[in-house]
Structure 1
Amino acid sequence: MTMAGVQMKSEQSVDMLERVRKICSPLLEVEEVIDGFGHNVMKVRGKTFIMMGEHEGTPSLSLKSDKEAQSLLLQQGGYVRTPYIGQHGWVSLDTAVGPNWDELSELVKEAYLRAAPKKLVKQVLGQE
C-alpha cells in the first residue's frame, strides 16, 4: 500500500486515517493518493473506494456503496448521503454520530470489493 502525504491535521482526523489504513493494509493493490481537493483517497487499480478529508478540524469519510446498501445505512442512521456523488450510492459517516469501527471495517472491505476487479476480489476472498 502506497502512502501519500497527510492533509488531515486534527488528532481525530489522523486517528481515523490511520485506522482506515490499517483496515486496508491486508487488501491487495490498495493505493493512497491525495486528490485535487486535498482528500486522502484509497484506490484499487485506479478505482476510488474511500475518500477522506477534514473540514474545520472534523474528519469526513465517504465510502463506495450501492443504492441498496446506501438505503439500508441511511435508514439505520450514522450515515448520510455523500454530497455530489450520493446518487451513485456513496455514503458518508455522520460526523455527529462518530464511527462504529467494527461496522466501518466491514463497510471499507465491501467498498474495496465493489471497486476491485474480479480477479483481485477472488484473491482477497480466498485469503479470509
Structure 2
Amino acid sequence: MEIEESARSLSTELGLRARERIRSICADYPEVREKVDGHGHTIYQVLDKSFVRIGEKADGGCAVALKVSRPTQELLLAEAGTPFFKTPYIGHQGWVSFPAEIESAWKEALALTREGYCLAAPKRLAAKVQSAAR
C-alpha cells in the first residue's frame, strides 16, 4: 500500500485508531493508495477511485465512510438500530458512514470495505480480491 504522509492527516486517538484498522483491512488489496484530500479526510483509493474516507469532527468524533452498492446501502439504512447513515454530500453515490467508536459497525466494515474496493477497482484487481476472500 502506498501511503502519502500529510501535515493535515488525522490527529485524534479515535481517528488514528480508525486509520490503523482500515490500513490493516486494505493491506492485502492490490494498488491501494492512502492519502489526505483537500478537506483533511484520509482516503483510500485504487487507481484514483476512492472507496474509504475517514474524517474527524470538531467535537473529537470520527466517521468512516464506505463506498457500497446501492442495494447494500438500502439494506444498511433500512436496518433498525443501525449505526450506518447516508454519507453527507456523497451518499447519493452509494456511500454509507458510521461513527468510528461503534464497535458493532467494525464487524461489518471488513466485508463493506472489500465491496467498495471491488466497486472502485478494475475487474482484474477486483477478481483477485474476490477470489482471495473465498
TM-score, normalization by structure 1 = 0.91
Give the distance between the partners of 1:14 and 1:37, measured in 2 at CA.
17
Give CA deviations for 1:63-113 in whole Å, capped at 9, x if unaligned: 1112211110111211000111111111111x2871422211111111101
Give the distance between the partners of 1:37 and 1:13, measured in 2 at CA.
15
- Is 1:50–1:64's contact at 8 Å kept on the other side of the alignment? yes
Partner in structure 2 of residue 110 of structure 1: 115
Runs of 4+ deviating beyond 3 Å: none
What SS is found at the alignment partner of 1:63? strand
Give CA deviations for 1:29-87 in whole Å, capped at 9, x if unaligned: 10011111111010001110011110122111111112211110111211000111111
Partner in structure 1 of residue 68 of structure 2: 65
Question: How large is the RMSD of aligned CA atoms in angstroms?
Answer: 1.6
Give the distance between the partners of 1:96 and 1:123, measured in 2 at CA.
28
Give the distance between the partners of 2:45 and 2:12, measured in 1 at CA.
23
Map residues 1-128 of structure 1 onto 2, 5 A cutoff: 1-5=1-5, 7-56=9-58, 57-76=60-79, 77-93=82-98, 95=99, 98-100=102-104, 101-128=106-133
Q: Which runs of 5+ in 2 are unaligned?
A: none
Structure 1 pair 9/96, CA: closer, same or farther in 2 (3 Å)?
closer
